[in-house]
Amino acid sequence: MKKRLFAALLTTVFVSASLAGCASASASEKASDEAATEASAKSEDEAESESEEDFVTIKACFAIGMTGAVNRFALEKGLYEAEGIRFDVTDYESNDTTLSLITRGDIEVADGDPSTYIPAIQNGVPAKLVGNMWRYQGCYWLIAKDGIETIEDLKGKTIGTAGASGGMKLSVLKMLEANGIAEDEATLVANGVYQDGYATLTSGEVDATIIHNPYAALAESEGTGHILGRAWDYIPDYYTGTIIASDKIINEDPERLQKFVTAYYKVHEEVKNEYFDEFIDWASEYMNTDKDILRKAVESEIDVWADYPVIPEDRLDKTIEYLQQYGWLEDGISADGTYTNEFAQKAADELGLKDPESK
């Protein structure tokens, strides 16, 4: 009896010790797992923190429509993120609104119309032109309804000029002038851009209009009109697309600005050379245009898809001369002090980009 009791007690001791050992091992494993999880989380946090440090954020406002299509594709495709850049983007409304955003410090970079930006900078907007857009010649098309076969046929007709002044109206005037038609020999109306301008042609409000693609290609496809000419064939020295940056980022954070300027041309070259077909698919949805029509529109302008950064000083001077000729810019205005090629030249050198207009 005593032996059995002793054996039972001994068994109890061993079982208890065994259970205690299991509990101790379990607690040890739990502590080890918790430590590992904590270390892993800490490692992930540190990696994420280090990853975040690799990115810069740019406050921007970018063009829409065909003018901004390549850039917006690059944003959605993640091509800028691959270069370590993220954006805080403000929706585009107008060039004047963009200037207000820069003045208030709400954005740091934008693209748009130099004929609007240059006088604004001369009048105190704290910014400078820092590079060219991916294309900087006037990609505008003069289209007309059936029955008007040549530009000469526009004498006495109503023509849409997009705006009351600026590059698109200038294009109309120069195209008329080259074909022997004076400004007062046609009725010129500011009929808006993109869909608005196209609607005035399809409704019969105007006989012809200056317009961006894909609406020129769309008019021919839909049979609502046909192309009379390309603006850049008539005023090839007019400067229509620029990148602007605030004085604050230029002076206080030039490295961050340089990173953006260089990336801008790099990603545009990638779209043109590596993602062209994918861009066409994306742009056809973005522009709500049939894929074949969109491809035709883009390919018809490929000759001015330059991706060259350095601002051409001769174009700046000629553009100001044109604007002053028509009374849209005061005689005392010049491009002096409104631009810098410091960042553009570095981008061109780093990426090996050559001036398409050099002899």
Q: Using CA atoms, how far apart are residues 283 and 285, in angstroms rounded to an integer?
A: 5
236 Cβ contact list (under 8 Å, min separation 6): 137
Quote the tokens at residue 275.
Answer: 């993602």
With a pLDDT cut of 70, the percent of the chain lying above it is 85
Domains of the chain by start residue, with CATH? 53-136+239-351 (3.40.190.10), 141-234 (3.40.190.10)
- In this predicted structure, the answer to whether residue 334 has a pLDDT above a threshold of 80 is yes
C-alpha R_g of the chain: 31
The distance in angstroms from the start CA to the end CA of the chain is 115
Greater pLDDT, 178 or 15: 178
pLDDT confidence of residue 38: 54
Task: Check if the beta carbon of residue 271 is closer than 8 Å to that of residue 279.
Answer: yes
Three-state SS at 224: coil
Per-residue pLDDT, averaged over 161-167, amounts to 92
Three-state SS at 86: strand
Neighbours of 201 (CB within 10 A): 22
Task: Check if the beta carbon of residue 157 is closer than 8 Å to that of residue 207.
Answer: yes
- In this predicted structure, the answer to whether residue 9 has a pLDDT above a threshold of 50 is no
pLDDT digits (tens, 9 = 90+) for 193-217: 999 999 999 999 999 999 999 999 9
With a pLDDT cut of 90, the percent of the chain lying above it is 80
Distances (CA, A) of 183 to 71, 72, 166: 36, 37, 15
Q: Using CA atoms, how far apart are residues 346 and 268, in angstroms rounded to an integer?
A: 17
pLDDT confidence of residue 118: 93
- In this predicted structure, the answer to whether residue 34 has a pLDDT above a threshold of 60 is no
pLDDT confidence of residue 18: 38
**Can you give the length of the chain in residues?**
359
350 Cβ contact list (under 8 Å, min separation 6): 262
Per-residue pLDDT, averaged over 322-337, amounts to 90
Neighbours of 5 (CB within 10 A): 9
Q: 123 forms bridges with which residues in the sheet?
A: none
pLDDT confidence of residue 52: 63
pLDDT confidence of residue 247: 98
pLDDT digits (tens, 9 = 90+) for 73-118: 999 999 999 999 999 999 999 999 999 999 999 999 999 999 899 9
pLDDT digits (tens, 9 = 90+) for 213-266: 999 999 999 999 999 999 999 999 999 999 999 999 999 999 999 999 999 999
Task: Check if the beta carbon of residue 198 is closer than 8 Å to that of residue 150.
Answer: no
- In this predicted structure, the answer to whether residue 189 has a pLDDT above a threshold of 90 is yes
Q: Which of 148, 143, 326, 320 is nearest to 230 (CA)?
A: 143
- In this predicted structure, the answer to whether residue 21 has a pLDDT above a threshold of 50 is no
Q: Which of 304, 314, 330 is nearest to 165 (CA)?
A: 330
pLDDT digits (tens, 9 = 90+) for 260-296: 999 999 999 999 999 999 999 999 999 999 999 999 9
Q: Which of 66, 116, 65 is nearest to 95 (CA)?
A: 116
Quote the tokens at residue 339.
Answer: 């631009």
Task: Check if the beta carbon of residue 115 is closer than 8 Å to that of residue 323.
Answer: yes
* Lowest mean per-residue pLDDT among 12-26, 172-186, 204-218: 12-26
Q: Which of 199, 209, 198, 213 is nearest to 283 (CA)?
A: 213
pLDDT confidence of residue 358: 82
Quote the tokens at residue 116.
Answer: 């609007």
Q: 89 forms bridges with which residues in the sheet?
A: 60
Q: Using CA atoms, how far apart are residues 246 and 127, in angstroms rounded to an integer?
A: 4
pLDDT confidence of residue 359: 55
At 332, the pLDDT band (50, 70, 90 cuts) reads: confident
Neighbours of 247 (CB within 10 A): 13
pLDDT confidence of residue 357: 86
Residue the block writes with tokens 């038609």:
181
pLDDT confidence of residue 91: 93
At 51, the pLDDT band (50, 70, 90 cuts) reads: low
Side chain identity, residue 62? F
